[in-house]
Amino acid sequence: MASKEEMKKIAVKCIEDDKFRDDFEKDPIKAAVSMGITLTEVQANDIKAHASKVQAAGVRESKGFVSSIISS
Amino acid sequence: MYKVTLMFTERCNIACRHCCVSEHDFFDQGRDMPLPEVFHYIDQMVQLAAQHREQYVISFSGGEAFLRYPDLLEAVRYAKKNGAHHLSCMTNGFWGKDPALAQKWANELNTAGLNVIGFSIDDFHQQFVPLDSVRNAFQACRNLGMEITIKSVVTRKTRRLPAILGELGDLLLNYNAVVQEIACIPEGRASHAIGSDEWLCQKGIPEEPCMAGIMLVIFPDGSTFPCCGTGWNRWLILGDAQVEPIAELFQKAESKSLCVLLREEGPKYFVPFFQQAGHHLPSEGYANSCHLCRTILNHHQAENIVPQVILDWKTRRVRSVLGNFL
């Protein structure tokens, strides 16, 4: 289980490294392991749920717009 | 679906007032994208699509891609042979001057694999290209059942799309075509050749989100951008496709903070930060979100403010995702 200090390290890495942030939101456990940090399933599921919520806000807005562009 | 637009050439046979590529700080060098490079990009798209079990599409643009007709034909043929799902090309239709030649070129391109063609038809282009030429080219493509798109760039002083479509007569009768009316924005030559009184601005800040990162646009020098919008500037450059693998450039388009911010929030996210710093953005309105994006990223204070905004956005986002554990 990742400690609060380890979560802070992950947060800093997410802010500094775009690719890591992207990877972490997709697969928190795998990305955390790359930093030598172990997340529990509960922690990972919570993170994924919040990441989905954040992403969904953008997707809701852009989906119709983007699909109209792609189809043209 | 992986989509890439190749700026096949920066050359053009006409000099439209509204052109966003001509007289651009970066791109108006008259360069062509060499055919071996085009093949190299296509090869990488094939690999990327196969790796992710996706399809890929290629658009050829410019400049005027038909100025390199033999190369265009080769490129289309190569992409089709290598499994491209969709192949499209934008043109001003100048090659329709001779109807027989227009049909020959359309036949060859369609046989090679080009299935979508886009015509730029508006007052700007028609200053240089007779509409009869465009009609002939359009008819040649229609005869083959190709998908056709029409893009019209408009200002307050040009005719609008309905009038332009009216001039096509029966060409659109019983035929499905995608038509798009695009407000001119001050990029490239348009930034000085078209006065702000001509822009079709709407009041307020554009709310619509941005599509940054859903495609790559590659210029002949390898500069790669995450959008076909006209806000091409250094903030949006993803890298150099001549030296970086296309897979990495797609990865950057997906994860680069600025691209994610623009996709999720749109350029409007930046506005309050500029206002709070005492830097007022133009108040006469914006043609669209690309216009706002360009205004922000080319602002004389962008160097100071944009990195702060991105940091603020990243911090908020990470707090939203990890908040329960911090």
> What would the DSSP string read from start to end of B121-158?
-SHHHHTTS-HHHHHHHHHHHHHTT-EEEEEEEE-TTS
B150: CB partners within 8 A, 6+ apart: B118, B119, B121, B164, B165, B177, B178, B179, B180
- Which pLDDT score, from 0 to 100, does residue A66 have? 41
From the list B256, B266, B326, which residue is nearest A11 (CB)? B326
End-to-end alpha-carbon separation of chain A, Å?
Answer: 48
Quickly tell me which residue has 């809701």 as its tokens.
A60
Distance from CA of A70 to the nearest CA of B (A): 9
CB atoms B325 and A43 under 8 Å: yes
Helix ranges (DSSP H) in chain A: 4-16, 18-26, 28-33, 41-71
Which has the higher per-residue pLDDT, B297 or A64? B297
Query: B2-200 — its CATH code?
Result: 3.20.20.70
Domain residue extents for chain A: 4-59
What percent of chain B clears pLDDT 70, i.e. is strictly above it?
98
User: CA geometry: angle at B142 spanning B138 and B148, to 5°?
Assistant: 70
Residues linked to residue B61 through DSSP beta bridges, in sequence order: B7
Distance from CA of A41 to the nearest CA of B (A): 14
Chain-chain contact of B320 with A8 (C-beta, under 8 angstroms):
no
* Average pLDDT rounded to a whole number, residues B233-241: 92
Q: Which residues of A touch B325 (CB under 8 A)?
A: 2, 4, 7, 43, 46-47
**Alpha helix segments (H runs only) across B203-268:** 246-255, 257-264
Structure confidence at residue A62 (pLDDT):
42
**Residues 6 or more apart in contact with residue B194 via CB below 8 angstroms:** B17, B18, B155, B184, B186
Would you call the peptide bond into B63 cis, given omega within 30 degrees of 0 as the criterion? Answer: yes
* Predicted local distance difference test score (pLDDT) of residue A69: 40
Q: Which residues contact B316 (CB under 8 A, 6 or more apart)?
A: none
**pLDDT value at residue A63:** 40
Model confidence at B315, in pLDDT bands (50, 70, 90)? very high
For residue B326, the chain A residues in CB contact (below 8 A) are 4, 7-8, 11
What's the whole-model pTM score? 0.90
Which residues in chain A touch residue B321, judged by CB atoms under 8 angstroms apart? Answer: 14, 25, 47, 50-51, 54
Poorest-confidence range of B215-219, B222-226, B233-237?
A: B233-237
Tokens of B25: 């700080």
| B15-38 pLDDT per residue, tens | 898 888 777 766 667 899 999 999
Give the pLDDT confidence score for residue B23 in this predicted structure. Answer: 72
pLDDT at A58: 60
Residue B291 and residue B186: Cα distance in Å, rounded? 8
Residue B318 and residue A50: Cβ atoms within 8 Å?
no
* pLDDT tens digit sequence for B41-55: 999 999 999 999 999
B80, containing H or E segment: helix B69-81
Of B321, B324, B326, which to mutate for an interface test with A (greatest number of A Cβ within 10 Å)?
Answer: B321
Domain boundaries, chain B: 2-200, 264-325
The whole-number average pLDDT for the span B261-269 is 91
Query: How many A×B Cβ pairs under 8 Å?
Result: 86
Which helix (H) or strand (E) segment holds residue B56: the answer is: strand B56-62
- The pLDDT score that the predictor gives to residue A61 is 44
Residue of A nearest to B258 (CA): A18
- Output the pLDDT for position B88: 97
Average pLDDT over residues B57-63: 94
- Which residue is listed with tokens 């903070």? B257
pLDDT of residue B22: 76
Tokens of B241: 């496709």
Mean pLDDT value of segment B293-316: 93
Please report the ipTM that was assigned to this predicted complex.
Answer: 0.80
Compute φ and ψ for A17, nearest 5 degrees: -130, 105
Q: Nearest residue on chain A to B314, judged by CA atoms? A: A15
Residue B224 pLDDT greater than 60, yes or no:
yes
Residue B149's DSSP bridge partners are B118, B178
Angle at B93 between CA B88 and CA B96, to 5 degrees: 120
Question: Which range has the worst mean pLDDT, A34-38, B137-141, B286-290?
Answer: B286-290
Output the tens digit of pLDDT for each of chain A's 72 residues.
Answer: 889 999 999 999 999 999 999 999 999 999 999 999 999 999 999 999 999 888 776 654 444 444 444 433
The pLDDT score that the predictor gives to residue A64 is 40
Angle between helices B99-112 and B131-143 (to 10 degrees): 40
